[in-house]
Amino acid sequence: MPAANAPLASPAPLTPVRSIAVTGGKGGVGKTNLSVNLAASLALLGKRTLLLDADLGLANVDVLLGLSPQNTLADLVSGRCELDDIILEGPAGMLVVPAASGRRHMAELQPAQHVGLVNVFNDLQRQLDVLVVDTAAGITDSVLTFCQAAQDAIVVVCDEPASITDAYALIKVLARERGVDRMQVVANMVRNPAEGRALYDKLARVCERFLGDVSLNFLGAVPHCDWLRMAVQRQQAVATAYPASASARAIAEIARRAARWEPPVAARGNIEFFMDRMIRQGAVA
Ligand SMILES: Nc1ncnc2c1ncn2[C@@H]1O[C@H](COP(=O)(O)OP(=O)(O)OP(=O)(O)O)[C@@H](O)[C@H]1O
Ligand SMILES: [Mg+2]
């Protein structure tokens, strides 16, 4: 124990956080399962990881992980508690910010309130390496704002024509309206690796043809996997419940790639998660 009159050690400065939004346009393509398992896999790699459930109206990260939140983002928005009060611990030591389900006003927040939710992360006094953001289906303001505020957006696609057209629509709106010019693509529920690559090529071709200024990168493919479904039934992350399964291994590989992305060195001068940490370390673009 330090002597009573010893000077208090000042806390280590908060280091920059890499933020990754998971999105896709279409509903049911696997955004939430990828978010949960990417976050768990990053935590297993030793990254201090926070998972934000940004599907504000129909939240289900807590359900997938078998968590029972006392408070959610709805309580934060109504001023009943602080961000730190609603954080829960999930598998592999990852932290979770749960949202509420069935609170219609949460699905109908104003654009300024979405910006407010991004900025509230500036107040968080925890050391973190990565923030993973699970977004809702669609191209509503919340989805666009959370993707814009993250350093990387992962677009999840699966082998359905509507998935490719919705992903394209989302990429177009993100590029044209929010200036997002770089996106990662994950193909989900594929029958084999070639199918994943083909799906990416299909999306990349339309983007190249109609949105010349957007660059896409193929981050990986996740196979259709019964172990993942089993984990969903048991309300566990497949990454921790069945780490040897094909889907867990594929997501672990995606996490290894994402873990190599450099932490941000400069604020981009627009809305951004954890902007204060970057500005405080003197790095402004
Ligand atoms: N790789 C996979 N293998 C098998 N089933 C999968 C896989 N990925 C997702 N699923 C199943 O697909 C369904 C939809 O997944 P999920 O909820 O993650 O999608 P979503 O894109 O988040 O949906 P929403 O748009 O409603 O938020 C779930 O029942 C899930 O179990
Ligand atoms: Mg979802």
Q: How far is the CA of 27 from the centre of ligand 1 (A)?
A: 9
Pocket test residue of 22, 23, 26, 32 for ligand 1, highest count of atoms within 8 A of CB: 32
Whether ligand 1 lies within 6 angstroms of the CB of 27 is answered as yes
pLDDT-flagged residues of the chain (< 70)? 1-10, 281-285
How many C-beta atoms surround the C-beta of residue 253 within 10 A? Answer: 15
CA pair distance 142, 136, nearest whole angstrom: 8
Ligand 1, closest atom to CA 55? 27
Q: So what's the pLDDT on residue 284?
A: 46
Q: So what's the pLDDT on residue 6?
A: 58
Residue nearest to atom 16 of ligand 1 (CA): 30
Q: So what's the pLDDT on residue 5?
A: 58
Single pTM value for the model: 0.95
Q: Where are the domains of the chain?
A: 18-280
Contact, 175 vs 214, CB < 8 A?
yes
Residue nearest to atom 19 of ligand 1 (CA): 30
Q: How far is the CA of 178 from the centre of ligand 2 (A)?
A: 22
Whether ligand 1 lies within 6 angstroms of the CB of 80 is answered as no
Parallel/antiparallel/unpaired status of strands 95-97 and 88-89? antiparallel
Ligand at shortest distance from the CA of 34 = 1
Ligand 1, closest atom to CA 156? 21
Per-residue pLDDT tens over the stretch 139-192: 999 999 999 999 999 999 999 999 999 999 999 999 999 999 999 999 999 999
Pick one of 1.10.10.10, 2.30.30.90, 3.50.50.60, 3.40.50.300 as the CATH number of 18-280: 3.40.50.300
Q: So what's the pLDDT on residue 265?
A: 78
Q: So what's the pLDDT on residue 277?
A: 87
Q: So what's the pLDDT on residue 169?
A: 97
Q: How far is the CA of 31 from the centre of ligand 2 (A)?
A: 5
Which three-class secondary structure string do you get for the chain? CCCCCCCCCCCCCCCCCEEEEEECCCCCCCHHHHHHHHHHHHHHCCCCEEEEEECCCECCHHHHCCCCCCCCHHHHHCCCCCHHHHCEECHHHCEEECCCECCHHHHCCCHHHHHHHHHHHHHCCCCCCEEEEEECCCCCHHHHHHHHHCCEEEEEECCCHHHHHHHHHHHHHHHHHHCCCEEEEEEEEECCHHHHHHHHHHHHHHHHHHCCCCEEEEEEEEECCHHHHHHHHCCCCHHHHCCCCHHHHHHHHHHHHHHCCCCCCCECCCCCCCHHHHHHCCCEC
Q: So what's the pLDDT on residue 267?
A: 76
Contact, 36 vs 237, CB < 8 A?
yes
Q: How far is the CA of 224 from the centre of ligand 1 (A)?
A: 10
